[in-house]
Structure 1
Amino acid sequence: MAKSRVIGLDIGTTHVRATEVEFGRGGPSVTGEAAVTNFGEVALPAGAVRECEVAEPETVASALRQLWVQAKFSTKDVVVGVGNQRVIVRDLDLPWLPRAQIRTSLPFQVQGMLPVAVEDTVLDYVPTSTYAGEHGAMMRGLLVAATKETVRANIAAVERAGLKPVMVDLDALALARVMSRGDAQGRTVGVVDVGARATTIVIIADGVPRLVRMLPTGGDDVTDAVASAMSISLPDADRLKRELGVGYGAAPELAEAAESVLTVTTNLVESVRNTFVYYASSNPGAAAELIMLTGGGCQLPGLGQYLSSATRLPVALGQPLSTMAVRAPGAPKAFAERQHSLAVSLGLAFGVAA
């Protein structure tokens, strides 16, 4: 196929990030050629995005316009991500149908299964396997149901910025897409993406997402706890938490701050651990072999070691750029150092070939 470029747009709580990826032969596949040709990010003011959902469309649109001016992307077509507690992802078995018919029949198949009215949701289905049922071929997969309000809020900001959303995708599926390349092929791996206000967990087996869970805790919750404990500003608290890390010794005058870091992080790690325990018990002999950390909050010193100890699994920082070239402006080293924060926007770009 001819080369094509796709831009993945990640609207986070604290930043908007966009990554432009050029695909060659094979398109956006597990083994296809890919190169990052551009990247940019712009900080968002507090409150513009709340609980991972756009609350102030014009504020976010202004940041997006600034991002496009600064980065000089080649197109205004974007793949937009969504992912918060109002996006439901659950296991669902269905009679086998062609892909087009699945979408048509989903509203009827899931009537009564969701905590919100079907007509108020945007539905998708991700088949993960097939098997022979009592009455014919069956599909096992993941049902994705996002409230229309959540999707509309993101789309409204994007369109106000003069951009064109060509696809809306779940952040967790974007992570699975980009993190299942390279050494992860053929393995069962877990991705833990620690954002500012939410943590997304996706377990991938042979390149297929098998479990998705979203937790309402992220790096900014640790910052808030430190700020409250020490009565300091949020920027100072953010710097202090990174100096302290988790599980390290602290000077007596910083003991309260260290304890607050540990308390929030322990609750988060315990929830992550329980997710992996549940998956292992539901899939005997096929538990996750490795955890990869991504997201802006994943670089808290000691987090990886703490998570590894709790789950008894090796933990590594995700390296989404390891399977592709970097031809973006700026030093490749700079991109490599911040690639943990690029995972979602990269994965969104892999969702569609322009």
Structure 2
Amino acid sequence: MKSIGALTISNDSICAATIAEPFTSKPVIKKYKMLPLPHGAVVDGEATNRNAVTGLIKNMVKYGDLPKEDVYMVYSSRRMIFREASFPEMPLPELRETLPFQAKDKIALPVNESLLDFVPIRREETQGGAFLHGLIVATLSNGVEHTAQAVEEAGVTIESIDASAFSLARLFSGQAVDHAVAVVNIGGNSTDVVIIDHTRLAYMRVVPSGGDDVTDAISNSIGVTYEQALEIKRHIGLQNVVGDARLEKAEEAIRETIAQLVVGIRNTLNSYDQQHAQSPVTEVLLTGPGSVLVGLPPVLASSIGKVVKIADPFAPFELSQEAKDQNMTVHAADYAVVLGLALGRRPR
């Protein structure tokens, strides 16, 4: 089977992977590439400096790091909303045509400015007929369109665009065979909380906070540039700094911001557990670029009262020798959201 390109564009970087034998039982990661973006080129998933994004994508294509065709892209934003919904069974194209009317009372976004979709999760037979239970997915169309245009202006053909939460659900479904698992993907400005129960997607929410919010808090707290704050964050994490007043203040900013994020994650998990007392979440798989903050896993585990593990996104894949030589596993947290694009059924 022909190789595909898998792509994600975050606030800080562009991540791409070339994957052979996609949508099979054992895809092969042939190569990967991650390029840093100038600060502000992408904000909350939207390419605000399209020239910068397009230029880097062109370089990826030029040097063989991304194919020009068969490219699948993942999109994430704090402005993405998931809402549970049930509808009488009908062909999905017909159901999706009704979404502008069905969704207007369920989402806090202007329907006429949003992209809407319905993803069925399960079918139920009732005395009143068959029903589809699933998720309404909504996000502002401008963000998706501007980012897609930046990619296409580099001469790349996008086959499909998927929400990060669905990509993660496909990637980690095999790690929730006999229990419920929550995948917590900490991105730049948003955090996906995806719950998988017995291999099936059960619940998802977006917490509107991420790693970049921590960096901004440091920058504002001690008056340094974003880039300097990023280095401080990577250096100190949550390590109880003592003896340096400036770094102590920076760590205080980190702890305050992380506390808000952890509350959002905990509330999401508690909400799910209360609704699914027969099968509550037993463990959390932590991933995403914001998850590498030193000291975060034990802080999160203590707050939510659950086992927290660092997710392994490579289990469903084989790695080519080139990918091994590139030491790709070091970047596991960055690539989890991309790799799920090559799993499951080929999107139509």
User: Normalised by the size of structure 2, how large is the TM-score?
Assistant: 0.91
Identity %: 27
When structure 1 is superposed on structure 2, of 337-346 and 143-152 the one drifting more is: 143-152
Structure 1 residue 244, shift from structure 2 partner: 2.1
Aligned to 1:17: 15
Cα separation, 2, equivalents of 1:338 and 1:40 = 10
Is residue 248 of structure 2 the alignment partner of residue 250 of structure 1?
A: no
Structure 1 residue 314, shift from structure 2 partner: 0.7
Counterpart contact for 2:29–2:323, Cα < 8 Å: no
Aligned to 1:5: 3
Cα separation, 2, equivalents of 1:154 and 1:257 = 33
The 3 A distance-change label for structure 1 pair 227 and 238 is same
Counterpart contact for 1:295–1:340, Cα < 8 Å: yes
Q: Which residue identity lines up with residue 16 of structure 1 in the other structure?
A: I
SS at match of 1:264: helix
**After the TM superposition, which parts of structure 1 deviate over 4 Å for at least 4 consecutive aligned residues?**
none
1:102-117 alignment, distance < 5 Å: 102-110=95-103, 112-117=105-110
Aligned to 1:314: 307
Cα separation, 1, equivalents of 2:340 and 2:52 = 25
Aligned to 2:208: 216
Gaps of 5+ in 2: none
The 3 A distance-change label for structure 1 pair 285 and 223 is same
Counterpart contact for 1:293–1:318, Cα < 8 Å: yes
Structure 1 residue 151, shift from structure 2 partner: 2.2
Structure 1 residue 225, shift from structure 2 partner: 2.0
Structure 1 residue 324, shift from structure 2 partner: 1.3
Counterpart contact for 1:169–1:351, Cα < 8 Å: no
The 3 A distance-change label for structure 1 pair 17 and 61 is same
Aligned to 1:201: 193
Cα separation, 2, equivalents of 1:46 and 1:259 = 24
SS at match of 2:260: helix
Cα separation, 2, equivalents of 1:236 and 1:228 = 11
Cα separation, 1, equivalents of 2:178 and 2:149 = 39
Cα separation, 1, equivalents of 2:258 and 2:104 = 38
Structure 1 residue 328, shift from structure 2 partner: 5.6
The 3 A distance-change label for structure 1 pair 335 and 234 is same
Gaps of 5+ in 1: none
1:121-147 alpha-carbon deviations (Å, 9 max, x no partner)? 322211112223341111111111222
Cα separation, 2, equivalents of 1:250 and 1:184 = 41
Q: Which residue identity lines up with residue 86 of structure 1 in the other structure?
A: R
Cα separation, 2, equivalents of 1:325 and 1:308 = 31
Q: Which residue identity lines up with residue 34 of structure 1 in the other structure?
A: P
Counterpart contact for 1:82–1:169, Cα < 8 Å: yes
Structure 1 residue 93, shift from structure 2 partner: 0.6
Cα separation, 2, equivalents of 1:351 and 1:323 = 11
Cα separation, 1, equivalents of 2:242 and 2:316 = 39
SS at match of 1:17: strand
Q: Which residue identity lines up with residue 184 of structure 1 in the other structure?
A: A
Q: Which residue identity lines up with residue 278 of structure 1 in the other structure?
A: S
Is residue 279 of structure 2 the alignment partner of residue 286 of structure 1?
A: yes
Structure 1 residue 75, shift from structure 2 partner: 4.2
Structure 1 residue 242, shift from structure 2 partner: 2.6
Q: Aligned residues, how many?
A: 346
Cα separation, 1, equivalents of 2:202 and 2:68 = 33
Is residue 146 of structure 2 the alignment partner of residue 148 of structure 1?
A: no
When structure 1 is superposed on structure 2, of 223-232 and 111-120 the one drifting more is: 111-120
Aligned to 1:240: 232
Counterpart contact for 1:40–1:71, Cα < 8 Å: no
1:95-123 alpha-carbon deviations (Å, 9 max, x no partner)? 12244443344345435444445443322
Cα separation, 2, equivalents of 1:330 and 1:346 = 13
Counterpart contact for 1:14–1:44, Cα < 8 Å: yes
1:324-343 alignment, distance < 5 Å: 324-327=317-320, 329-331=322-324, 334-343=327-336
The 3 A distance-change label for structure 1 pair 100 and 233 is closer
Cα separation, 2, equivalents of 1:318 and 1:149 = 32
The 3 A distance-change label for structure 1 pair 147 and 261 is closer
Q: Which residue identity lines up with residue 216 of structure 1 in the other structure?
A: P
Cα separation, 1, equivalents of 2:160 and 2:234 = 36
Counterpart contact for 1:248–1:302, Cα < 8 Å: no
Counterpart contact for 1:86–1:150, Cα < 8 Å: no
1:263-321 alpha-carbon deviations (Å, 9 max, x no partner)? 11111111111110001011112111211111111111110111111111111111010
Cα separation, 2, equivalents of 1:212 and 1:52 = 18
The 3 A distance-change label for structure 1 pair 84 and 135 is same
Counterpart contact for 2:215–2:230, Cα < 8 Å: yes
Aligned to 1:184: 176
Cα separation, 2, equivalents of 1:261 and 1:119 = 38
Cα separation, 1, equivalents of 2:234 and 2:193 = 23
Structure 1 residue 248, shift from structure 2 partner: 3.2
Counterpart contact for 1:41–1:67, Cα < 8 Å: no
1:36-90 alpha-carbon deviations (Å, 9 max, x no partner)? 1121111111111112212122221111112222343344331122221332210
